[in-house]
Amino acid sequence: MDNVTHTLFALTLARTPLGRVGRGSTAALVLASNAPDIDVAATLGGSASYLAWHRGPTHGLLGIVGLGLLTSMLVWCGRRTLDSMRPRPERRPLGIAAKANGDNGSIPEEDVPPTTHDAPFAMLVAISMIGVLLHVLMDLATSYGTRLLSPFDWHWFAADWLPIIDIYLLIALAAGLAFGRMSPDARRHNVAIALVLMVGNYALRGAAHHRALTLAPRLFGPTLPLPCDPQPPSGALLDSWPRGALSIPTNGRRCLVEMAAVPTFLSPFRWRVIAHLSNAYEIHDVDLLDHRFRTVAAPSEALWRLALRFPNQWTPAVADAARTRTAQIFLGFSRFPDARTSVDATGVTTVLWSDMRFAGGLVSLRPPARQAAPFTVTVQIGPDHQVLREQIGP
């Protein structure tokens, strides 16, 4: 999930009882809700370093505890530093106040500075850990996924419910904050509405994701082969990768490795269904509001003819390229790595991988669009099997 959404969600939580435990709670929520993305510092080591560490330990169990403690300490120290720099209010003599007020020295209520208690350090720790945990859970619901158990287990996990940027979630959170500034009652009322809309959005996308997977056999029709052995897991709440061997030994038999449905950016009812086959990928976009899917009977049109097919041939050259450090990092990150090879006149073999989750972006899935996928790896191998070049990026 993007950092704007994380920040808006933290500010929304700050208008709940979590933000009223004392001074510093709002800062702790905002900082903690963005703290896991501190791994962006890995870009200083290059693209390969970024992919190797992105959504790793900072999004794992140790990150929730460590970043929660670090955030609470920063807020606590920052609050004490600001308090020491703030000038103390001058005390007015009681005699002057008594003459101004006409009583026995009582200070007018409007002259008394408001007393806002500081949040205890233990509460800051708890709030910060909650903020980091909710960041991780929001990332887990996307199709990008996160390495939930790192550094103990570097597998990726994803629920595939939301895209990286959910415009409807952004609108709901921003509107709840904007229209909640009129009064305390309006603030509580609109924050409650925003949270209900947020839960409803997650529930709708979860149900739509299940529906898209249910329609998969009708989308691919007779072209969908039988599952490979062992059969891929079905009905699991979370998908996990890498699954093991990237090259599937099938003895020449074409089979289904796994099926996935990933969300699109503009509509919660439009999904991209990816069929990972032993030798290719077949992709079909589906609109759940299409009238052809309102009945149980199969549609009269041959929908499987609209599926796009991308060969994924793991030749000996691909296997050699997969042993390079850059390829290993990418293959550990990529959920659906698609390999293509070409050989020039001098005998140099170029292997190009892309992740089929990001093929085509927002517009098209045609092969020219696939070449512009944001995550690609290129490895060049000479005729003597010597690695000539390896890089991440176009």
Enclosing H/E stretch for 158: strand 156-158
Q: Comparing 392 with 244, which gets the higher pLDDT?
A: 392
What token pair was written down for 117? 């208690």
Q: Report whether pLDDT(240) > 70.
A: yes
For residue range 321-367, list pLDDT tens digits in order. Answer: 999 999 999 999 999 999 999 999 999 999 999 999 887 654 344 44
Q: Report whether pLDDT(285) > 70.
A: yes
pLDDT of residue 368: 41
Annotate 217-265 with DSSP letters as a single string. HHHHGGGPPPBPSSPPP-S-SSEEE--S-SS---TT---EEEEEEEE-S
Lowest mean pLDDT segment, chosen from 26-35, 202-211, 342-351: 342-351
Average pLDDT of span 272-282: 92
For residue range 94-145, list pLDDT tens digits in order. Answer: 554 444 455 554 444 444 344 468 899 999 999 999 999 999 999 999 999 9
C-alpha 176/C-alpha 171 separation (Å) is 8
Domain boundaries in the chain? 3-207, 215-311, 316-392
Annotate 283-325 with DSSP letters as a single string. EEEEETT-GGGSSSSPPSS-GGGG-EEEE----HHHHHHTTSH
Percentage of the chain modeled with pLDDT above 90: 57
pTM of the predicted model as reported, rounded to 2 decimal places = 0.86
